[in-house]
Each structure stands twice: as structure tokens, then as C-alpha cells.
Amino acid sequence: MAKVTQDMVEEMFEKYFEAGRILSQVRSEAKDRIKVGASMLEAAEFVETRAVELGADGSAFPCNLSRNDEAAHATPRAGEETLFGEDVVKLDIGVQVDGYIADSAITVDLTGEYGDLVKASEAALYAAIDIVKKGTTTAEIGAVIEDTITSLGFKPIGNLTGHGLDRYVPHAPPSIPNRRIGNGSVLRTGDIIAIEPFATDGIGKVVDGNLTEIFQVVRSRPVRLPAARKLLKELEPYRTLPFAKRWFKTEKLDFALLQLEKAGVVHSYPVLKEVGGGMVSQAEHTLIVTDDGCEITTK
């Protein structure tokens, strides 16, 4: 096994920070494109191309534009003509530099009526950030998130979590709960985590919706059908990073994806919807845990 040197560690963290700097600029520019009457597809494509223009090696996952009772995993279809209406829009962006990931989300209220809901997820995020340091447990973070959201009159979405980040892996241990749990993982100096509270005026739980546009290669396994083999070859540059169907013009794309999913090679990410139809807000930053606090890479 190759020895990990201090220079290698410093280079790794610099790439995390570079991804975060790029994401922060893209997020700021993209927010201005989320307005009533604007194209959802154009907004998503702007996010994904702008990150590369600014020096990223690509998206860490497809741009998520989840609206209203959608909490996550919504991204436009190829050729989609849907326009933003008076929606509560979750903009969730992932950027990668050499596989090192920055992940951040904001909520844009185009209705003018859900400002308090937006503030609930934001307040929970920063309350959680305030307690992060070496030795903090994920259970403590979950309790702070739940207390903050409920104190403002809303509910956390209990079956959605934040997560760790690893190279080419946008969802790694530890899981960061958005509610109280019995036991949690202990954070260590150098851990890379994404905290992402979701607040709702609904029931506080999400279920799979009917639409799926995002997939991820999760294991390597031989496949027999030519269409599936061809698609798997095209997916190699993404490694274990999620991808959108609209990124490919492969013949028999749906058929090939179905075969790969049946073989356990790819995992699908259906749009997640609040089970009671409640409005949902989200806020998220990527952090590096330090001895006495944390550094936000995506601020």
C-alpha cells in the first residue's frame, strides 16, 4: 500500500476547497436563473456546463431542481419544456475536481409565501454547523436539526439524511440524521460531510415518486445484452458518480438501463415526494471537520 504523505493530504483538501469555490459561484449565478417563466432544462444545463467552464472536472451528480412537495432527485428530462411557475424550488448542486466533491443546496421561493419554511431549513443547517467539531456525534447533529425546525413550526423529513463524501462517492458514511436518533457516529478531524436539513409543513416523510431520471453505477458485473454493454462502456468516465438520462443519446437507452438495473449494476434514484403533499425546503453545505470546529467548503 502506498504511503499517504502530508503533501498528498494537503492536495486532497485543496481539491475539496476548489470544488467548493466553483460550486459557490455556480450556485450564486444559477439562483438568478430560477424565476417564474424560466426554463428548468436551461437552468440545469447552465449549472452543469458553468461548473466545467470555471475549472471543475464535471458534475458530482446531475443538477437537482425539485419543486414544491418534491424533496430531491428531480432533474429535467431531455428536451423538457417545463417552465418554473410559482414554485418552491430546491437547487441542489454537486461539483467534482479530480473526484473530490462539493455538495450544496438552497431553496428559492417563487411564491413569496414560504419564506418561513425556507428559513427553517437554513436555520437548522447553521445551528448544526455551530456544533460540528472533532468528537461531535451525528446524533447530536440530528437533535439540533430537529429542535430548530420544530421550534419554527415545521417538521424535519425524518427519512432523509446528510452524508459523508469520498472521492467519486457522493454518499459515503457517516449518515447525518435530520431528527433525533438513539446512537450516532463520532466525527473525526478531517472528515468530509454534507449536512442537509429538509423542513416541511407536511407529515415529515418522503416516498418514491413515479419519475426517475438519475442513476448511478454501483458495481461491476458482466452483462450479456449488447445495448447494456455499450451503455456501460459509455458510463465508465463517471465511475461511481450519478448521471442523468438526458446526458446520453444511446439507442435503446431505457431498455439498457433496465437491464443494468436488473443485473444490479446501476441503482436508480426516483424523485422523492413528501408523503402528505407538504411543501419542502432544503439547505446544505459541505464541511471539513477540524479539532475545534469545521470549515465550510461551499460558503
**Structure confidence by residue, pLDDT tens digits, 183-213:** 999 999 999 999 999 999 999 999 999 999 9
pLDDT (tens digit, 9 = 90+) per residue, 170-183? 999 999 999 999 99
Q: What is the pLDDT of residue 120?
A: 98
Phi and psi, residue 74, nearest 5°: -95, 125
Q: Is 61 buried (19+), middle (13-18) or exposed (0-12) by CB count in 10 A?
A: buried
Q: Facing residues of 295 across strands?
A: 288
What H or E segment, with its residue span, contains residue 244? strand 243-244
**267 labelled binding-site residue:** no
Is 103 annotated for ligand binding?
A: yes
Location of C-alpha cell 447553521: 126
Is 171 annotated in some ligand binding site? yes
- As annotated, the active-site residues are 92, 103, 163, 171, 196, 284
Q: What is the pTM of this model?
A: 0.95
Provide the strand spans (E) within 68-182.
Answer: 70-72, 88-97, 100-109, 155-156, 161-166, 169-177
Domains of the chain as residue ranges with CATH: 6-209+271-296 (3.90.230.10), 210-270 (1.10.10.10)
The per-residue pLDDT for range 54-76, each reduced to its tens digit, is 999 999 999 999 999 999 999 99
284: annotated binding-site residue? Answer: yes
Taking 70 as the pLDDT cut, the residues of the chain under it are: 1-2
Q: Which residues pair with 67 in a beta bridge?
A: 89
Is 81 known to sit in a ligand binding site? no
